[in-house]
Structure 1
Amino acid sequence: MVDIATDDADVIVVGAGPAGAGAAFHCASAGLDVLLLDKASFPRDKICGDGLTPRAVAELVRMGLPIREQDGWIRNKGLRVLGGGHRIEMAWPEISSYPSYGLAKSRMSFDHTLVEHARSAGAKVHERTSVTGPVRDERTGRILGVTARPVDEAGKRAGDDVVYRAPVVIAADGVSARLATGMGLQKRDDRPMGVAVRTYFTTPRHDDPWMESHLELWDGEPGRSNLMPGYGWIFSLGDGTANVGLGSVSSTAAATKVDYKALFAAWMRNAPAEWEFTPENQIGPVRGAALPMGFNRGPLYGNGLMLAGDAAGMISPFNGEGIAYGLQAGRVAADAIAQGLARGTVAGRERAFATYERRMKDDLGGYYTLGRLFVRLIEHPEIMRICTRHGLPRPLLMKFVLKLLSDCYEPRGGDVVDRTIAALARIAPAA
């Protein structure tokens, strides 16, 4: 039996990760009636590196989210890179667009904070609510709402199905993109796909002020085994623990044959003893997740449905960063929805809704295209070996690489590095 819900909203947001919670917050702050649905109950774990770049920090500042140390955050100065026998530290750039520091906090705590921030802004949050599919207009195919059911902690049905309706729906339901798939939107196999695995360790390195990236991952003894495409990371959380993981990327969505957990185990076997990354210090299992990249699903808006975050493949092919773009998507989507719902005609509303895709593609489309070219290069281990060995010692080149890979450059103005990256992003087609 399906009941028609009485608590309809101006906008329904499916998924309460950074993209969904961010969208709910901005919509509620604009005075809209928002319904935020998620199958989990918070706090809940999420597979991620837990590190935020300055671009992501800027989005948190826009939201007015507390980011002090006493709020559970640890700030980092920049990126420490190891590879090709080199070790360099590169501070986050001093630019006007973003702060000159990054942040780290476990996703279990971070996502819970975002959900509560959205709730405090006025969003109605329904946890343990599994969205099972779209409700569509039989004539036009437009989404009218969603069907959902209450679930228990194990994800099993815990009540009758319900229908929630709204003029527009935001699908922020992660890599599974069940709602988009239910609307017939398939992923693009010509976009990069990453895979990441991570776990936590108690370690003396828990308060390291640098995010650390290891550009060489060996499937055995370093220098005497195969160099794998990807990089490892160590992100200190300031609470006695560090998030330790590795990621790999392919230029297409084809499945890889890499045993990532075995690769992670090989890396840990070769880790210096003083890091104390030992089995007895490990907290929880090594868990993995797919990373859809470069706008691998679209359109970003159509038939009343907006895609945001991982559901739209809004992960950078350069570094696997997704939080900054999910938060940005939530903000831009909320603005387009608020403007659209204020229009006096259906046509005017649709024109305003459509600005969401245009704004996101204008800002990120060219940059993601550059990222796809980057992935095609680094998935060849011999090219990666040459780049790390000969590129890391060159300060100007590494300044360029840091700004490009972290997406921390002035889009207008700035120094010669900023202008070069901005020009490349403008020239590259936003496919």
Structure 2
Amino acid sequence: MSEPKKRIGIQNLDDDWDCVVIGAGPAGTMAARQAAMRGLKTLIVDRKTFPREKVCGACVNRRALTLLDQVGLGHVVHNCRGIPFDRIQLRCPSGHASLPLSRGFAVSRATLDDALVEAAVSEGATFVSDTMAQILPTEHPAGDRGANQRSVKLIENHSDCTKPHSRTVRCQIVIAADGLGHPSLQRLPDFHDKVARSSRIGVGTIVEHGANVLREGSIGMAVGRDGYVGMVRISHNRLNVAACLDVTRLRDVGHPGVVVADILQRAGFADFGAADHTWKGTIQLSRSTNTVASQGILVVGDAAGYVEPFTGEGIAWALAGGVAVGDCAASGAHVNQMTAEQIWKREWRQLVARRQKWCRRLAVLLRHPTAVSVAIYAASTFPFLANRIIASLDSPALELQATTS
């Protein structure tokens, strides 16, 4: 992992911006890069120190690779030392199947997100880390477009600051890309989440020198009654592990590594000592946001809604949404906020929400062990059935050609 980035203190920032992007994951960085390329004075804010790891499957699938190439970032995955994969080993207690995938690459999120931040900064965006951001309620009525500005409160949270500095900046458009639960929107009644009753918890870890657990060129997926575990090799002989676990089971056991080890053992995968590792966790995963645009705020990425992804769909959704919302931000800052909001709602449905349907169906399937057993048997006996689903998930983002031309 590269060295932590040199910080820019919030006291050194300008008061006024065209666009403020909250969250520097794939959605936020792509949005900021696109907005900056469209001529917007753009600020990116993230609450973490960079580079940083995240709970994520770490898979960049064909759709994501195609999109990166379309926007001139085809070199990024190679520069991040991505490890190729072209198969998925799917296992459950009663069976297993090995299915082909279009060639993708596994990349540490610390490395990938850091590279995408650099790509945004190289186009003119300004990046600030270790800083929380809260979008403040507007003082103008909902129908008043006269002021056409939003205020964002920035609060430094780095460890060497005994009394955190805070300040407020103004902008024409805010892009909220700050992940599950979108904390930047907590003070705004226009936005709220609906969490699925069956929603699981995400956990993840990176196993040093753990690549020998998994066959080269494969994603490993273990499915059990208490959740599922995905594994893939990443650079420097490491194993990236991400899991979706049943909330009740996790509460009863008390340690995610114990649940993960049990799922792996029952599915026939070797345990890498899961119970001995430190795990990062998320809030409940499956959720939706009531709206993705209102009063100069555009919501993208996991902040806009989340369905459990499988082989790189999450990163692909984020990249596609980021490019499109950056273009919408330019329209809102230069032309009309209301028009930009309407465009973004339509783009979100077409680019992301519509494509999540297969993952939503698969997430339901994975909660029923008997159905999983039947599906694995069908996939191994009639591989064209599984290939059709994989092709739907993995198809290139051709719809962005008009946007990026």
> What is the TM-score when the length of structure 2 is the normalising length?
0.81
1:189 pairs with 2:195: yes
CA distance in 1: counterparts of 2:396 and 2:329, whole angstroms: 29
Q: CA RMSD in A?
A: 3.3
Residue 395 (structure 1) shift: 1.5
Q: Any gaps of 5 or more consecutive residues in structure 1?
A: 93-100, 218-226, 250-254, 413-431
Q: Which amino acid aligns with 2:117?
A: V
CA distance in 1: counterparts of 2:11 and 2:219, whole angstroms: 51
Q: Which moved more, 1:325-334 or 1:206-215?
A: 206-215
CA distance in 2: counterparts of 1:209 and 1:187, whole angstroms: 39
* Residues 370-389 of structure 1: pairs in structure 2 closer than 5 A: 370-389=358-377
Structure 1 equivalent of residue 5 of structure 2: none
CA distance in 1: counterparts of 2:329 and 2:23, whole angstroms: 17
Q: Any gaps of 5 or more consecutive residues in structure 2?
A: 1-9, 400-405
Relative contact order (alpha carbons < 8 A, sep ≥ 6): 1 or 2 greater? Answer: 2
Q: Contact 1:172–1:307 at 8 Å: present in 2 too? A: yes
1:34 pairs with 2:42: yes
1:60 pairs with 2:68: yes
Provide the secondary structure at the position in 2 that maps to 1:9: strand
**Does the C-alpha gap of structure 1 residues 175 and 320 become closer, same or farther in structure 2, counting only changes over 3 Å?**
farther
CA distance in 2: counterparts of 1:127 and 1:19, whole angstroms: 16
Q: Which amino acid aligns with 2:304?
A: A
Structure 2 equivalent of residue 408 of structure 1: 395
Structure 2 equivalent of residue 277 of structure 1: 272
Residue 5 (structure 1) shift: 6.9
State percent identity of aligned pairs.
24
Q: Which amino acid aligns with 1:121?
A: E
Q: Contact 2:17–2:42 at 8 Å: present in 1 too? A: yes
Provide the secondary structure at the position in 2 that maps to 1:10: strand
Provide the secondary structure at the position in 1 that maps to 2:194: coil
- Point out 4+ residue stretches in structure 1 off by more than 6 angstroms: 2-5, 270-273, 409-412
Given candidates 267, 278, 291, the residue that maps to 1:299 is 291
Residue 158 (structure 1) shift: 4.4
CA distance in 2: counterparts of 1:371 and 1:180, whole angstroms: 26
**Does the C-alpha gap of structure 1 residues 374 and 240 become closer, same or farther in structure 2, counting only changes over 3 Å?**
closer
Structure 2 equivalent of residue 245 of structure 1: 242
CA distance in 2: counterparts of 1:204 and 1:373, whole angstroms: 30
* Residues 351-370 of structure 1: pairs in structure 2 closer than 5 A: 351-370=339-358
**Does the C-alpha gap of structure 1 residues 4 and 144 become closer, same or farther in structure 2, counting only changes over 3 Å?**
farther
Q: What CA deviation, in whole Å up to 9, does each residue of 1:161-202 have, x standing for no partner? A: 211110110111111311223212111134863422222221
CA distance in 1: counterparts of 2:312 and 2:149, whole angstroms: 31
Q: What CA deviation, in whole Å up to 9, does each residue of 1:300-353 have, x standing for no partner? A: 11111111111111445566842211111111111112123332xxxx442133
Q: Contact 1:13–1:170 at 8 Å: present in 2 too? A: yes
**Does the C-alpha gap of structure 1 residues 291 and 313 become closer, same or farther in structure 2, counting only changes over 3 Å?**
farther
1:105 pairs with 2:114: no
Structure 1 equivalent of residue 260 of structure 2: 264
Structure 2 equivalent of residue 25 of structure 1: 33
- Aligned residue-pair number: 378
> What is the TM-score when the length of structure 1 is the normalising length?
0.77
Structure 1 equivalent of residue 302 of structure 2: 310
Structure 1 equivalent of residue 101 of structure 2: 91
Q: Which amino acid aligns with 1:120?
A: S
Residue 56 (structure 1) shift: 1.8
